[in-house]
Amino acid sequence: MMENIQNIYHSFEKLNAALFSIFNKDVLASQDIYFSSFGIKIMQFISFAYTYHYLNWFSKTAVIQWHKTTKIKIVAIILIWLASILLYLYNYKTGLYWLYLLSLTHVILEFPLNITSVKNLFK
């Protein structure tokens, strides 16, 4: 069972180790990352953040109103999607940088939407 948990969450090991260092916690063994009290709290927080991010879109659909999107915006979205695929086909590294830029832009532009969603919770 313990090996299974480590295999499933192996991709988070570096992130968890970095969070340990940010909070001045010592990692004596990789077991600490997975099974210590602090390691478990980190994974609970990461699980919450991922779950919140995806479930939060249900509350945002009324704010975003995708069903009222203009044809110009739909065409722009499709063009960005096609450009992303073509950049990957042209050069993997360039495509990766492009999608990283889009990802960062997504996060930054989502802040006002998050604020609106939180305000609506308290109305």
pLDDT of 72 above 90 = yes
pLDDT at 28: 67
Would you place residue 46 in the very low, low, confident or very high pLDDT band (cuts 50, 70, 90)? confident
- Token digits of residue 62: 């009324």
pLDDT value for 83 = 95
Please compute the mean of the pLDDT values over residues 52-68 and round it to a whole number: 75
Instruction: Using CB atoms within 10 Å of the CB of residue 22, give its burial: 0 to 12 exposed, 13 to 18 middle, 19+ buried.
Output: exposed
How many angstroms separate the CA atoms of 100 and 106, rounded?
10
Task: Please tell me the pTM assigned to this model.
Answer: 0.49
Segment 93-115 shows an average pLDDT of 87
Amino acid residing at 98: W
Q: Which two tokens stand for residue 30?
A: 């990789």
Please give the Cα distance from 54 to 11 (Å, whole number): 20
- pLDDT average, residue stretch 89-110: 89
Percentages helix, strand, coil for the chain, rounded to the nearest 5? 85, 0, 15
Quote the distance between the C-alpha of residue 63 and its chain's center. Answer: 20
Q: Are 84 and 98 in contact (CB under 8 A)?
A: yes
Listed by start position, the domains of the chain span 1-47, 67-123
C-alpha distance from residue 22 to each of 12, 41, 75 (Å): 15, 14, 43
65: three-class secondary structure by DSSP: coil
Q: Summarize pLDDT for 27-43 with one digit per residue, the tens.
A: 766 677 778 888 888 88
What mean pLDDT is reported for the chain?
Answer: 82
